[in-house]
Structure 1
Amino acid sequence: MFKTIFKKLMDLLFIVVVVLIVFYLLINIRGMGQKDYIPGLGPYKIMSVLSGSMSPTFNAGDVIVGKTINPYDLKQGDIITFRFGNSLTTHRVINVINKDGKLLFNTKGDNNNVEDLESVGDENIISKYLFRVPLLGFVIMFMKGTAGVTTICFLIILSIFINVYKGRNKKGKKYRF
C-alpha cells in the first residue's frame, strides 16, 4: 500500500516538474530575443545572484525573486534591483531623495563598507526584493550551459525510457498512456 502511494506521488511530482519546466521555458523563450530581458512571470522577476555584496541577506549562487513596483512606494531599508550600466545590481536603499519630482536612491550592499558611488534614478528600478531560494542559481547557471542542457535532455529521455520499459514488462502487459 505504502509503495503504491509513494510511486503515485513520485509520478505526480515528475509530471509537475516537467510541466513547470516547459511552462517556464515557453514564457521566457519569447523574451530572450528582446534587449534587456529579465526572466520572470508577469510582475515577478527571477534573477541569479553573482556576488556576495548582499551577504548574509543572500549569497552568490542564490536565486532572488523580486516584484515590479512603483518607485514612489520604495523606502529606506528596501532591497531593490536596478540597472547599473549594462548589468543589474541588487542593493539596499539607504536614502531616498526627491529632487524636483524625480526620485533618486542611494544604495549600498549589506556586505560592502561604503555606499554605491552613484545614486539610482527611478527609471532604472527593476524590482523590489521579495525572497530568495538558496543555491538554486548554481543549478540555473549550469542549466544555461551546453553541458546542462545536454544533461537535462539525457535525464528526461532516460526517465521516459525507464518508465516505458517498466510499463512494458509489468505483468506481461504492454505500456499504455
Structure 2
Amino acid sequence: MEIDFKEIASYVIILIIVLIAAQHLNVVVSGSMEPAFYRGDIVLVEKANFLGINEFDPSAVEVGDVVVYDAAWYDEPVIHRIINITDINGTTMYVIKGDNNDKADPYYVTSDQIQEKVVTFNDNLVIIPKIGYLSLWLRGL
C-alpha cells in the first residue's frame, strides 16, 4: 500500500480550512435581534484577535455595527447592535441593544469587551438561516 502524500496534504488543508471557518460562525441562541436574524440562524463574524491576527479593531466599531461582546450581565457572549457611543471620563463606552429588546443592555461596554463583529456585505449582515437549530438541539438550548 502506497502513501499518497498529496492526497493526505489535501485532506489536511481542507480540515484546516473547515476548522478556521467554524471559528468564524456563531449560532444565534435567542430572538433578541429579530428581525435582523433569528434564533437558529448562523452569523459570520470577524474576530478582534484570531491566533494573533486582528481582523478588525474593536475601538473602531460604529453605531449600527452588530458585535459579539463579553457581557457583565450574562454568562455567554452576547450578539447585539451598537446604538450609541459616548465618552465617560476619557473612556469610550458603547451602548448596545438587541433590535427586538425594549431597553439597551444594562451596562456600558468597553472596546476590550468586544470580541467579534458580524460581517456585512453591501450593508447586509451575512447570515446563514436556520442551520444552527441542530447545534441548539445538541446543546439542549
TM-score above 0.5, yes or no: yes
Greater RCO, 1 or 2 (C-alpha within 8 Å, sep 6+)? 2
**Where does residue 173 of structure 1 map in the other structure?**
none
AA in 1 matched with 2:132: G
How far has the Cα of 1:73 moved from its partner? 1.5
Asked if 1:134 is matched to 2:129, the reply is yes
Which one has a bigger Cα radius of gyration? 1
Given that 2:42 and 2:132 are in contact with CA atoms closer than 8 Å, whether structure 1 keeps it comes out as: yes
Q: What CA distance in whole angstroms lies between the structure 1 residues aligned with 2:102 and 2:67?
A: 18
Please, which runs of 5 or more residues in structure 2 have no aligned partner?
1-12, 48-55, 120-125
**Where does residue 71 of structure 1 map in the other structure?**
58
Q: What CA distance in whole angstroms lies between the structure 2 residues aligned with 1:101 and 1:128?
A: 24
In the TM superposition, 1:26-45 aligns within 5 A as 40=23, 45=24
Summarize deviations over 1:53-105 as a string: whole Å, max 9, x none.
Answer: 00010000011111122122211111111011431101110101233443211
What secondary structure does 1:120 align onto? coil
1:51–1:26: structure 2 CA closer, same or farther, 3 Å change rule? closer
Given that 1:102 and 1:122 are in contact with CA atoms closer than 8 Å, whether structure 2 keeps it comes out as: no
AA in 2 matched with 1:138: Y
TM-score by length of 1: 0.55
Identical-pair percentage: 27
How far has the Cα of 1:118 moved from its partner? 0.6
Paired positions, count: 112
In the TM superposition, 1:160-175 aligns within 5 A as none
What secondary structure does 1:104 align onto? strand
Instruction: Calculate the aligned-residue CA RMSD, in Å.
Output: 2.6
In the TM superposition, 1:21-170 aligns within 5 A as 22-23=15-16, 40=23, 45-68=24-47, 69-85=56-72, 86-130=75-119, 131-142=126-137
